[in-house]
């Protein structure tokens, strides 16, 4: 697993590309993108990641993932997790102190696999190399969220990706919990989920 500065977790290769593209991607590269955009940690913020089998974390994850499973299916019981957090990260060319906080969690019991996205405050969508405004961090080509299996068949673009609406991921959900999105990815179920929660 490779945690990339630009809001992407990839498998077997780094992703240096800072201009988000819609899925599916050419070249059969599987990756998970909580917020693929031109992050610049030199201007602010940190990226943390860890693998864990901590029982407390796994219990919490099982609870968070439960709404992603159809009624009648066995509830998620992950035995392993990988957590990557982009904490208060700035954007390339920022002439403001706007920052974003978001997280990707990969969870598995060895058979079923889930991806969980958690969004804190999202204050920007675009760096200046993607025609974003240096003062607002908006405009140009906004961030992409979703996952790409690399087989050109199983992929998911979270609604609002590469549009200004991507900034509202922290208020939207496919689980009924604002800022939280979950997907079962071992057989690639894109859960559209309950209707939007009113703000």
Cβ pair 168, 126 in contact under 8 A: no
The strands making up 31-36's β-sheet, listed across from edge to edge, are 2-4, 8-10, 31-36, 144-148, 155-157
Q: Residue ranges per domain, the chain?
A: 2-184
CA distance readout (Å), 157 to 30, 138, 190: 14, 20, 9
Instruction: Report CA 114 to chain centroid distance, whole Å.
Output: 12
42: Cβ contacts below 8 Å, ≥ 6 apart: none
Digit-coded pLDDT (tens) for 20-48: 999 988 888 888 999 999 999 999 999 99
Of 148, 149, 145, 142, which Cα lies nearest the Cα of 125? 142
Digit-coded pLDDT (tens) for 155-181: 899 999 999 999 999 999 999 999 999
pLDDT of residue 1: 87
Digit-coded pLDDT (tens) for 77-131: 999 999 999 999 999 999 999 999 999 999 999 999 999 999 999 999 999 999 9
Give the dihedral of Cα atoms 23, 143, 179, 196; nearest 10 deg: -70
């Amino acid at each position: 697993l490779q945690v990339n500065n630009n809001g992407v977790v990839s498998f077997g290769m780094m992703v240096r590309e800072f201009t988000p593209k819609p899925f599916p991607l050419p070249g059969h590269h599987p990756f998970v993108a909580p917020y693929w955009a031109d992050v610049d940690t030199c201007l602010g913020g940190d990226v943390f990641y860890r693998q864990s089998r901590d029982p407390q974390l796994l219990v919490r994850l099982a609870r968070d993932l439960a709404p992603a499973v159809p009624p009648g299916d066995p509830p998620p019981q992950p035995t392993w997790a990988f957590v990557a957090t982009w904490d208060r990260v700035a954007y390339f060319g920022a002439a403001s102190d706007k920052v974003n906080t978001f997280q990707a969690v990969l969870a598995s019991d060895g058979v079923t696999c889930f991806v969980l996205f958690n969004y804190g405050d999202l204050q920007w969508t675009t760096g200046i190399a993607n025609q974003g405004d240096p003062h607002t961090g908006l405009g140009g080509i906004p961030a992409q969220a979703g996952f790409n299996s690399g087989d050109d068949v199983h992929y998911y673009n979270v609604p609002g990706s590469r549009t200004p609406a991507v900034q509202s991921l922290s208020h939207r959900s496919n689980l009924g919990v604002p800022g939280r999105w979950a997907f079962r990815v071992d057989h690639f179920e894109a859960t559209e989920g309950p209707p939007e929660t009113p703000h």
